[in-house]
Amino acid sequence: MNREVEVVVTGVGAVTCHGAGADTLWRAMTAAGTRLPDRPADPLARMDLPFIGLVPDPDLAADRATRFASLATAEALADAGLDAAALATARTAVVLGSCMGEPGANERGRGDDGAWTPPFRLAGALATELGLFGTVHDIGNACAAGAYALGIAADLVRAGVADVVIAGGSDAYSRVALGCFNRLGAVDPERCRPFEADRDGTVFAEGAGILVVESAAHARARGVTTGDGRGVLRLSAVAWSCDADHPTAPRADGEQIVRAMREAVGGAADDIGCVVPHGTGTRLNDVMESRALHRVLGARAARVPLYSLKALLGHAGGASAALAAVAAALILRHGTVPPNVPLKEQDPECAVALPQGEPVPLPAGARRVLVNAYGFGGNNASVVLAGSADAVGLRAGKGGVPV
């Protein structure tokens, strides 16, 4: 592993309940509107609160997670300026996170045809579609899976195993997942409302977020510069930890999520200009994360703007951290933090800054965005994306010339 290898993000793609495309996501972020969850057209979803933010795609029986990943990947590759020929000549890996994999065929079947397909086949399906022969990984670290995928992508690049990694996450409607959260009593009857005083759980959503991760050297060699409008970013750090405590609840002292955040932020907490929190809307998580942010950012924690993505989309499970990283990339590219979906009343136990009404500019000296992700089993991960031309050694007008 060579930690001196610079890792960059050269393309992003997204599919959400607001539609396909990172631009569609950005428009939804800047509009800050309230979207109520959908009820899936599934007669077997017999539960009190069958709520989810569905991607506008009516076929619930199809391989939805694979389609979402494929669509987001096509956008990310185009954004990065990579086509099939370029991927074929590079060492290209695929790493995708997901809570449920591809649950459609197994959950909609009734077992009478004897057929069963492995649910975690997203990365393999995507590699097959693209004709790739490099490393392929599906990551199942619960709702932190997308962040773990980014960490493994960075490690593959730094280890010299891959030049390019298609990394991110995808999750689709799952009757089992919704049923489990209903049985846990962890579904908000209104919508996903992180940091609200009267929030009562989370609400799931479908979606996929994909990032093209590659070495800065490879990006330079193929002529990527900061002057071509792609908004190249640095994947500054990914850190992870495990609570080793409770199967569903975060550890009470928050020590391990603080550790992951500190390792990701490093010694430059003052450079964090925005946080995209995990922020599920569950009572324990939001309070724990707010307190942890104060331990990591110090007095600035009450002023550093948070962008609460799940208030806009709902909780996209294993795709949520990847979508949060896409949102962070868009914030860095545009240089502003969009207004949050308006809160009725913020929980006084969550003393964090959630700008509403107007966007907040990212300070010139704080162009790093921290993304947090936490999952069942105590899976914690924090990612830092940085936006700086000089930081990645890609300067305008130097196409194809290492600098």
Does the structure show a pLDDT above 90 at 273?
yes
38 forms bridges with which residues in the sheet? 52
**Band of the pLDDT at 113, cuts 50, 70, 90?**
low
Does the structure show a pLDDT above 60 at 24?
yes
- Segment 43-52 shows an average pLDDT of 95
pLDDT at 394: 58
**Band of the pLDDT at 399, cuts 50, 70, 90?**
very low
| Catalytic (active-site) positions | 143, 278, 315
Q: Is residue 288 classed as helix, strand or coil in its secondary structure?
A: helix
Q: Where are the domains of the chain?
A: 7-110+117-222, 237-387
Cα dist from 189 to 43, 58, 203, 393, whole Å? 19, 23, 8, 49
Q: What is the pLDDT of residues 208-261, one digit of tens each?
A: 999 999 999 999 999 997 655 567 999 999 999 999 999 999 999 999 999 999
Q: What is the pLDDT of residues 295-331, one digit of tens each?
A: 999 999 999 999 999 999 999 999 999 999 999 999 9
- Segment 140-156 shows an average pLDDT of 97
* 142: Cβ contacts below 8 Å, ≥ 6 apart: 99, 317, 318, 375, 376, 377, 379
**Band of the pLDDT at 114, cuts 50, 70, 90?**
low
- Segment 194-214 shows an average pLDDT of 98
Q: Where does 7-110+117-222 sit in CATH, by number?
A: 3.40.47.10
Cα dist from 175 to 39, 44, 47, 265, whole Å? 11, 8, 10, 37
| Exposure on the CB side of residue 176, measured as CA atoms within 13 A | 14
Global pTM reads 0.95
In 3D space, the residue among 318, 260, 317 whose CA is nearest the CA of residue 288 turns out to be: 260
Provide the 10 A C-beta neighbour count for residue 108.
13
pLDDT at 363: 87
Q: What is the helix (H) or strand (E) element at residue 326, kind and residue range?
A: helix 320-334
The mean pLDDT value of the chain amounts to: 92
Domains 7-110+117-222 and 237-387 share a fold: yes
Q: What is the pLDDT of residues 323-381, one digit of tens each?
A: 999 999 999 999 999 999 999 999 999 999 999 999 999 988 889 999 999 999 999 99
* Distance between CA atoms of residues 167 and 316, nearest Å: 16
Topology classification of domain 237-387: Peroxisomal Thiolase; Chain A, domain 1 (3.40.47)
Does the structure show a pLDDT above 90 at 176?
yes
- Note whether 286 and 317 are within 8 A (CB): no
